Amino acid sequence: GNLQQSIMRPSKGVNENVASQEEECLGTDCIEDPLPIEDARSPPVPSGLPVDADCLVKSMERLLVAVNSVDHKLDTLAEQVESRVGQLDARLRALELRLDSTPMKDMAVVSETGKESQETTMDEVDSPKEVLSDYDAVDEIIGRLDKHYEATQQMLEKSRALQMCSNVPSPS
Protein backbone atom coordinates (compact mmCIF):
# COMPACT_ATOMS: atom_id res chain seq x y z
CA GLY A 1 0.00 0.00 0.00
CA ASN A 2 2.30 2.72 1.29
CA LEU A 3 5.28 1.54 -0.76
CA GLN A 4 3.09 1.36 -3.86
CA GLN A 5 1.96 4.98 -3.40
CA SER A 6 5.50 6.24 -2.93
CA ILE A 7 6.54 4.52 -6.15
CA MET A 8 3.63 6.09 -8.01
CA ARG A 9 4.40 9.58 -6.63
CA PRO A 10 8.17 9.70 -6.01
CA SER A 11 8.22 13.51 -5.68
CA LYS A 12 6.12 13.36 -2.49
CA GLY A 13 8.04 12.81 0.75
CA VAL A 14 11.31 11.92 -0.94
CA ASN A 15 13.28 11.83 2.31
CA GLU A 16 11.01 9.33 4.09
CA ASN A 17 10.98 7.01 1.10
CA VAL A 18 14.66 6.51 0.35
CA ALA A 19 14.13 2.75 0.12
CA SER A 20 11.51 3.11 -2.60
CA GLN A 21 13.82 5.50 -4.48
CA GLU A 22 16.51 2.80 -4.31
CA GLU A 23 14.07 0.22 -5.65
CA GLU A 24 13.04 2.54 -8.43
CA CYS A 25 16.65 3.01 -9.37
CA LEU A 26 17.07 -0.74 -9.68
CA GLY A 27 14.15 -0.91 -12.11
CA THR A 28 14.31 -0.79 -15.89
CA ASP A 29 13.97 3.02 -15.98
CA CYS A 30 17.49 3.36 -14.68
CA ILE A 31 20.58 1.74 -16.19
CA GLU A 32 21.71 -1.03 -13.84
CA ASP A 33 24.89 -2.12 -15.60
CA PRO A 34 27.42 0.21 -17.20
CA LEU A 35 27.24 0.28 -20.98
CA PRO A 36 29.70 -1.95 -22.81
CA ILE A 37 32.24 -0.06 -24.90
CA GLU A 38 30.45 -0.99 -28.13
CA ASP A 39 27.44 1.05 -26.97
CA ALA A 40 29.49 4.12 -26.06
CA ARG A 41 28.08 5.98 -29.06
CA SER A 42 24.44 5.11 -28.35
CA PRO A 43 22.03 8.04 -28.81
CA PRO A 44 21.34 10.16 -25.71
CA VAL A 45 18.04 9.86 -23.84
CA PRO A 46 15.51 12.34 -25.28
CA SER A 47 15.38 15.38 -23.00
CA GLY A 48 11.58 15.21 -22.79
CA LEU A 49 11.69 12.19 -20.47
CA PRO A 50 11.43 12.83 -16.73
CA VAL A 51 14.68 11.84 -15.02
CA ASP A 52 15.14 11.11 -11.32
CA ALA A 53 18.26 13.05 -10.28
CA ASP A 54 19.36 10.69 -7.46
CA CYS A 55 18.89 7.75 -9.76
CA LEU A 56 20.88 9.47 -12.49
CA VAL A 57 23.72 10.31 -10.12
CA LYS A 58 23.89 6.66 -8.99
CA SER A 59 23.99 5.54 -12.61
CA MET A 60 26.75 8.01 -13.35
CA GLU A 61 28.75 6.80 -10.36
CA ARG A 62 28.44 3.24 -11.67
CA LEU A 63 29.47 4.44 -15.12
CA LEU A 64 32.52 6.25 -13.73
CA VAL A 65 33.57 3.11 -11.85
CA ALA A 66 33.26 1.16 -15.11
CA VAL A 67 35.23 3.80 -17.01
CA ASN A 68 37.98 3.78 -14.39
CA SER A 69 38.24 0.00 -14.58
CA VAL A 70 38.46 0.24 -18.38
CA ASP A 71 41.23 2.83 -18.00
CA HIS A 72 43.09 0.51 -15.62
CA LYS A 73 42.66 -2.41 -18.02
CA LEU A 74 44.01 -0.27 -20.88
CA ASP A 75 47.09 0.61 -18.81
CA THR A 76 47.67 -3.09 -18.10
CA LEU A 77 47.28 -3.98 -21.79
CA ALA A 78 49.66 -1.18 -22.79
CA GLU A 79 52.28 -2.56 -20.39
CA GLN A 80 51.81 -6.05 -21.86
CA VAL A 81 52.21 -4.68 -25.38
CA GLU A 82 55.38 -2.82 -24.38
CA SER A 83 56.92 -5.93 -22.85
CA ARG A 84 55.90 -7.96 -25.92
CA VAL A 85 57.57 -5.42 -28.20
CA GLY A 86 60.68 -5.65 -26.01
CA GLN A 87 60.70 -9.44 -26.40
CA LEU A 88 60.26 -9.11 -30.17
CA ASP A 89 63.15 -6.63 -30.36
CA ALA A 90 65.37 -9.08 -28.48
CA ARG A 91 64.31 -11.94 -30.77
CA LEU A 92 64.97 -9.86 -33.86
CA ARG A 93 68.43 -8.83 -32.63
CA ALA A 94 69.30 -12.45 -31.75
CA LEU A 95 68.10 -13.54 -35.17
CA GLU A 96 70.18 -10.90 -36.95
CA LEU A 97 73.30 -11.88 -34.98
CA ARG A 98 72.70 -15.54 -35.73
CA LEU A 99 72.20 -14.89 -39.44
CA ASP A 100 75.29 -12.65 -39.59
CA SER A 101 77.58 -15.11 -37.82
CA THR A 102 76.42 -18.45 -39.24
CA PRO A 103 76.75 -19.65 -42.83
CA MET A 104 73.34 -20.95 -43.93
CA LYS A 105 74.57 -24.44 -44.85
CA ASP A 106 76.04 -25.17 -41.39
CA MET A 107 73.06 -23.78 -39.50
CA ALA A 108 73.06 -25.50 -36.12
CA VAL A 109 71.14 -24.17 -33.16
CA VAL A 110 72.49 -24.40 -29.64
CA SER A 111 69.65 -25.72 -27.49
CA GLU A 112 68.96 -24.45 -23.97
CA THR A 113 71.07 -27.26 -22.47
CA GLY A 114 74.07 -25.93 -24.41
CA LYS A 115 74.44 -28.96 -26.71
CA GLU A 116 74.41 -28.45 -30.43
CA SER A 117 71.62 -30.27 -32.18
CA GLN A 118 72.36 -30.91 -35.85
CA GLU A 119 68.74 -31.97 -36.49
CA THR A 120 67.40 -28.47 -35.89
CA THR A 121 66.66 -26.94 -39.26
CA MET A 122 66.33 -23.32 -40.24
CA ASP A 123 62.52 -23.77 -40.11
CA GLU A 124 62.60 -24.13 -36.32
CA VAL A 125 64.50 -20.88 -35.84
CA ASP A 126 62.46 -17.68 -35.78
CA SER A 127 62.36 -16.52 -39.37
CA PRO A 128 62.48 -12.78 -40.08
CA LYS A 129 59.01 -13.13 -41.62
CA GLU A 130 57.58 -14.56 -38.37
CA VAL A 131 59.10 -11.81 -36.27
CA LEU A 132 57.78 -9.15 -38.64
CA SER A 133 54.29 -10.67 -38.60
CA ASP A 134 54.49 -10.55 -34.79
CA TYR A 135 55.26 -6.84 -35.10
CA ASP A 136 52.17 -6.44 -37.29
CA ALA A 137 50.09 -8.25 -34.67
CA VAL A 138 51.38 -5.89 -31.98
CA ASP A 139 50.60 -2.89 -34.19
CA GLU A 140 47.07 -4.19 -34.61
CA ILE A 141 46.70 -4.59 -30.83
CA ILE A 142 47.94 -1.02 -30.33
CA GLY A 143 45.38 0.21 -32.88
CA ARG A 144 42.58 -1.60 -31.03
CA LEU A 145 43.78 -0.15 -27.70
CA ASP A 146 43.65 3.33 -29.23
CA LYS A 147 40.03 2.80 -30.32
CA HIS A 148 39.08 1.49 -26.87
CA TYR A 149 40.80 4.45 -25.27
CA GLU A 150 38.89 6.91 -27.48
CA ALA A 151 35.60 5.17 -26.62
CA THR A 152 36.53 5.36 -22.94
CA GLN A 153 37.25 9.08 -23.23
CA GLN A 154 33.86 9.60 -24.92
CA MET A 155 32.13 7.70 -22.11
CA LEU A 156 33.92 9.91 -19.57
CA GLU A 157 32.84 13.07 -21.39
CA LYS A 158 29.23 11.83 -21.55
CA SER A 159 29.16 10.92 -17.89
CA ARG A 160 30.59 14.33 -16.95
CA ALA A 161 27.93 16.07 -19.04
CA LEU A 162 25.18 13.94 -17.48
CA GLN A 163 26.60 14.57 -14.02
CA MET A 164 26.29 18.30 -14.68
CA CYS A 165 22.69 17.84 -15.85
CA SER A 166 21.87 15.79 -12.78
CA ASN A 167 22.98 18.60 -10.45
CA VAL A 168 19.87 20.53 -11.50
CA PRO A 169 17.21 19.84 -8.81
CA SER A 170 14.31 17.77 -10.12
CA PRO A 171 11.02 19.71 -10.37
CA SER A 172 8.60 18.75 -7.59
* Residue 21 pLDDT: 46
* Residue 137 pLDDT: 80
Q: Model confidence at 168, in pLDDT bands (50, 70, 90)?
A: low
Q: Model confidence at 165, in pLDDT bands (50, 70, 90)?
A: low
* Residue 109 pLDDT: 53
Asked if the model's pLDDT at residue 59 lies above 50, the reply is: yes
- For 99-157, the pLDDT digits (tens) are 777 665 555 555 444 545 444 445 555 666 776 777 778 778 878 887 887 887 787 77
- For 61-102, the pLDDT digits (tens) are 888 888 888 878 888 888 888 888 888 888 888 888 887 776
The CA-atom distances, in angstroms, between 61 and each of 8, 14, 87, 101 are: 25, 20, 39, 60
Same domain, 132 and 48: yes
* Residue 36 pLDDT: 53
* 114 compared with 160, residue with greater pLDDT: 160
Domain that holds residue 20: 1-30
Highest mean predicted confidence (pLDDT) among 1-5, 38-42, 123-127, 161-165: 161-165
Q: Does residue 113 form part of some domain? A: no
Q: Does residue 114 form part of some domain? A: no
* Residue 29 pLDDT: 46
Q: How many domains does the chain have?
A: 2
Same domain, 51 and 80: yes
Same domain, 6 and 73: no
Total H helices, total E strands in the chain:
4, 2
* Residue 13 pLDDT: 47
* Cβ-Cβ contacts under 8 Å for 62 (sequence gap 6 or more): 31, 33, 34
Same domain, 18 and 70: no
Same domain, 38 and 85: yes
Which letter does DSSP use for residue 16 in this model? T
Is the whole model's pTM more than 0.75, yes or no?
A: no
Same domain, 21 and 44: no
* Residue 71 pLDDT: 79
Within its chain, how far is the Cα of 61 from the centroid?
A: 17
